[in-house]
Amino acid sequence: MIRQRFRRWRHTRPFPAGLCSVAAGVELIAVVGTAPGSLSLSGAGAPASWLLATLMIVAGLTMWLDPPRRYYAGAMTLICGLLSLLLSNLGGYLIGFLLAGLGGSLALAWIRVPTDGP
Amino acid sequence: MRETSGRATASGDGPGGPVPDPSGGPYGRTNRRRLALALAATTAAAAVVLGCVAEGAVAASFTSGTPFTVTVESLEAKGFGMQLGLSTGTGRPAVLTRWPVAEVSGLCQSVTVGLPLVGPTTMVLTARTVHATDLVIDAYHASGTLNLRRLVIGPTRGTTGYHSEDALLKNITLRAGSATAGTFALTGVGLDVRPGSAPCRLPNGGAGKGMRESG
């Protein structure tokens, strides 16, 4: 029952897109350092990473919780991913960028099917 | 941008409209043509950005709360400055080294992070040659051979430090908190992800001799 509901939940929203976007944000933060205290005294690099990562996570959650806004969320994820190449350790050593690019693209590519049911 | 298919059902699919049943929205799938288009556009944009980084047109910034390891086979610099300061990456005291113009060969940079679920993972970036200008590295520890010309040890801008006209470094291992550069042009770039902790090592294991300092 739970699995069926989860399945339905996944199929009614761009689930992989949100997952990739959230994972991209988590990866960027993991590369910069997981201790939030490191934010307080840092210079240019770390706050940019935290900002981009937070935007990616918010965008990913938006894809899940508000599917009609997936285009905004997807575009935001793509732009954050591209900026992270410059501002955040080459996009978290490319892994974060690749996840963000995949997540944003999947969100832009998700479309409704007209009939009920998969 | 809303769905323009005109098949919107009465399930609250409007901007701002509340979805009545959290699991009751319309079904969807991934359109492959759109996905290919979006991926192609992203790849093109990334190629432009990475091309600019490689040509030194824009600056790339590396910052890590976890100190990262840099090994360099040789580094030739015009101008060199070194003084105590705070690392921009971690806020810890570190030796700030300034390199106005630096030619690097055999660069290897690695950072080990504890990723959730996966455990410690090392990401390694290597480059055959690097041309950097206005390079600033916050180092905690350095070892290797350092050759300085016209060295001045004394007060520079209020703090005791070292500066010299040019510097030649061989087989250097650095533990650093951040590296920023005005331009950073890399050739022969390689990127590697390894499980576990496997930081950069010099081919001859040349750590532990020569200059040593710690923040």
Window 138-177 of B: residues touching A by CB (8 A cutoff) are: none
Nearest-neighbour CA in chain B from A101: distance (Å): 6
Q: Is residue A28 part of a domain?
A: yes
Read off the pLDDT of each residue in B102-122 and give the average, rounded to a whole number.
80
Q: How far is CA B25 from CA A11, A93, B18, B30, B189, in A?
A: 9, 37, 11, 16, 46
3-state SS track over B158-206: CEEEEEEEEEEEEEEEEEEEEEECCEEEEECCEEEEEECCCCCCCCCCC
Q: At what angle do helices A95-109 and A15-32 cross, to 10 degrees?
A: 160
- Please list every residue in chain A whose beta carbon sits closer than 8 Å to the beta carbon of residue B61: 44-45, 48, 86-89
pLDDT at B136: 83
- pLDDT above 70 covers what percent of chain A? 85
- Please list every residue in chain A whose beta carbon sits closer than 8 Å to the beta carbon of residue B46: 82, 85, 97, 101
Window 181-200 of B: residues touching A by CB (8 A cutoff) are: 191, 193
Q: Is residue A115 part of a domain?
A: no
Window 26-55 of A: residues touching B by CB (8 A cutoff) are: 26-27, 30-35, 38, 40-46, 48-49
What ipTM goes with this model? Answer: 0.79
Which pLDDT band, with edges at 50, 70 and 90, does A22 fall under? very high
d(CA B20, CA B9): 12
pLDDT tens digit string along A77-95? 999 999 888 877 777 778 8
Q: Which one is predicted more confidently, A62 or B162?
A: A62
Q: Is residue A114 part of a domain?
A: no
Nearest-neighbour CA in chain A from B150: distance (Å): 31
Tokens of A39: 């934010």
Which pLDDT band, with edges at 50, 70 and 90, does A38 fall under? very low
Q: Which one is predicted more confidently, A49 or A42?
A: A49
Number of domains in chain A: 1
How large is the C-alpha radius of gyration of chain A? 15
Q: Of the spans B39-43, B167-171, B173-177, which averages the highest pLDDT?
A: B39-43
Print the domain residue range for A42. Answer: 2-109
pLDDT at B9: 41
Q: Is residue A14 part of a domain?
A: yes
How do A110-112 and B28-30 pair as beta strands? antiparallel
Spell out the domain ranges in chain B. Answer: 30-58, 60-214
Residues 6+ apart with CB under 8 A from B52: B58
d(CA B51, CA B43): 12
pLDDT at B12: 41
Q: Is residue A117 part of a domain?
A: no
Does position B1 have pLDDT exceeding 80, yes or no? no
Q: How far is CA B115 from CA A34, B63, B104, B120, in A?
A: 9, 17, 30, 6
Q: How high does pLDDT run on average in chain A?
A: 82
Does position B150 have pLDDT exceeding 90, yes or no? no
